[in-house]
Amino acid sequence: MKRIVDSWLLLCLLACLPSLAMAQDERATAVLDALDVTSYAAKGQAIETLAGSGDERTRHWLEALLDGKLQRHKESGRFVVVLENRGRHWPVEDALTGEDLGKMSRRELDRIGINNALRGQLQSTLAVLDLRVDDVEARRDAAARLVGEVDDELAGPLAEVLEDERNADVRRYLGHALAIHRLEQGDLSAVEALAGSLDSKVRAALNEATRGDDAELADAARQALASIEQKLKLNRGLETLYFGLSLGSVLVLAAIGLAITFGVMGVINMAHGELIMLGAYSSWAMQQLLPGQPGLAVILSIPVGFLMAALVGIAIERSVIQHLKGRPLETLLATFGVSLILQQLVRTLVSPLNRTVVTPEWMSGSLAINEALSLTLNRLYVLGFALVVFAGLMLVMRRTRLGLEVRAVTQNRAMARAMGIRATRVDILTFALGSGVAGLAGVALAQLTNVGPNLGQSYIIDSFMVVVFGGVGNLWGTLVAGLSLGVINQVLEPWAGAVLAKILVLVFIILFIQKRPRGLFPQKGRAAEG
């Protein structure tokens, strides 16, 4: 029985829907008829009625009225919205139903005219309508647009909206918008409401107040601006620190593999930059294999870049380095030759031109901390990636047999051999590990810059500086040195320029190693002491 009653009620409701829709359209038509009158006062009342009707089409109609696109067909009296008012024939749609009516001659239509007072009323009404929607993001955007745009007519409705609003961000923007309006009226209390805000429109309003005739108000505005300037300096300092840490994370990724191989084998590998370059090209290659899926390509390029660089590193160690152990000058020259070969190989097989790697959507954009500070997401991901790689290497070095053997060979190769450790095997695995980490650095760099044959050359010298500054073979030293040099570079560049900043950093490292030749964190063991 209950099911029969529910079905009957549903049928009744469905039967009533057309009549309800018809009644709603009749009310909407009556309000639109009220707009098509000669009295501007009557039009103003019709706008208020329409705004309070709750009809979801209200905003579209009012916006069309403001733009002069709400018109009426002369013969049928039908209300239409002009989609594009260019030429002699305009595409139009039915105002009530949204039905496409094709094109009509502009002579067939009568525009519903408005004056400046109605234009201001429409702007205020549209602003309030945007602040009444359920979507918090839309309300916040609408409130942000109103900062610096409030007039006497809009102030009252906005104050009512502010009383009902519960979202903190929307309330802040509305408060600033109303405070700027009060400041323009000479209200001293508005300065206190605006003090501390980092919004550029707020600062512009306070600057304008400092030039006014009211001495007390101008003095209060200057004090508020001074406090805001202090906050801006702090935020600029935090932004410089963030960019310095992100640059330092790139240096850590580029240098940490070099620190391992240099520390264990004593090899100055000038081809290390090309291993970074191969990692970057692996990221580009994965995007060619997976078009339209940049996020998946980035994730898969991490193991692919590691394996590609590791295999090339093993080939370099087996074909060149193992024959030149104990001869650092010859090793340096040989690996420099390998780097040139790898660069030319990439130019021949791929292209001498730079390639662009598409950044996934989840790595694009920025994280807004406040109006004056935002953190770019791609650099934030690279910083996090560098710390994860560092943590992984620390686990390998502290918790695995390979790590134990690497530390033993690093501290005293002869004693490690005497204890049964196969130093040659350790050299191969260490070189593969260091090369693989260089490939990971390339994968990260591909998200920050273009990929090209000369990519690695930009980081090889900086990598060696990080290794020497931090202490040869010490991972903690590499981390501290990389992040420190990144921050120092970022601090120096604004006033010294990029080239002079690098020169100053190089001079600093030269002076530093005069006092501490073994770096920040020197090796321990008999070999290090010797």
pLDDT digits (tens, 9 = 90+) for 331-356: 888 999 999 999 999 999 888 888 88
Task: State how far the Cα of 173 lies from the Cα of 192, in Å rounded to an integer.
Answer: 15
Half-sphere exposure of 139 (CA within 13 A, CB side): 19
Residue carrying the six token digits 């309003």: 205
Which of 69, 70, 109 is closest to 89 using CA atoms?
A: 109
pLDDT number for residue 529: 47
pTM, whole model, 2 decimals?
0.74
- pLDDT tens column, 201-260: 888 888 888 888 888 888 988 998 999 889 889 998 899 899 999 889 988 988 888 888
pLDDT number for residue 4: 53
- Distances in Å between the alpha carbon of 1 and those of 4, 8, 13? 5, 11, 19
pLDDT number for residue 18: 46
**Per-residue tokens: 27:** 């009310």
pLDDT number for residue 59: 78
**DSSP for 5-40?**
HHHHHHHHHHHHHHHHHHHHHHHHHHHHHHHSSS-H
Task: State how far the Cα of 340 lies from the Cα of 512, in Å rounded to an integer.
Answer: 32
Query: Residue 201, SS3?
Result: helix
**Does residue 342 contact residue 278 with C-beta atoms inside 8 Å?**
yes
| Vertex 470 angle, CA 467 and 475, to 5° | 80
**DSSP for 254-319?**
HHHHHHHHHHHH----TTHHHHHHHHHHHHHHHHHHSTT-HHHHHHHHHHHHHHHHHHHHHHHHHH
**DSSP for 419-458?**
TT--HHHHHHHHHHHHHHHHHHHHHHHTTTS-B-TTTTHH
Residues of the chain with pLDDT under 50: 2, 5-6, 8-23, 525-530
pLDDT number for residue 285: 92
* Angle subtended by helix axes 272-289 and 294-319, to nearest 10: 140
Task: Return the beta strands (E) in 333-437 as ranges.
Answer: 366-370, 373-376
pLDDT number for residue 389: 92
Provide the 8-state DSSP code for 88: S
pLDDT number for residue 280: 93
Fold of 234-353+382-525: ABC transporter involved in vitamin B12 uptake, BtuC (1.10.3470)
The dihedral built from the CA positions of residue 50, 55, 58 and 61, taken in this order, carries a sign that is: negative
User: What are the residue ranges spanned by the domains of the chain?
Assistant: 234-353+382-525
From edge to edge, which strands make up the β-sheet containing 89-94? 100-105, 89-94, 79-82, 70-73, 109-111
**Per-residue tokens: 347:** 């130019």
Q: Are strands 79-82 and 100-105 parallel, antiparallel or unpaired?
A: unpaired
* Chain centre distance of CA 178: 31
The dihedral built from the CA positions of residue 51, 54, 59 and 61, taken in this order, carries a sign that is: negative
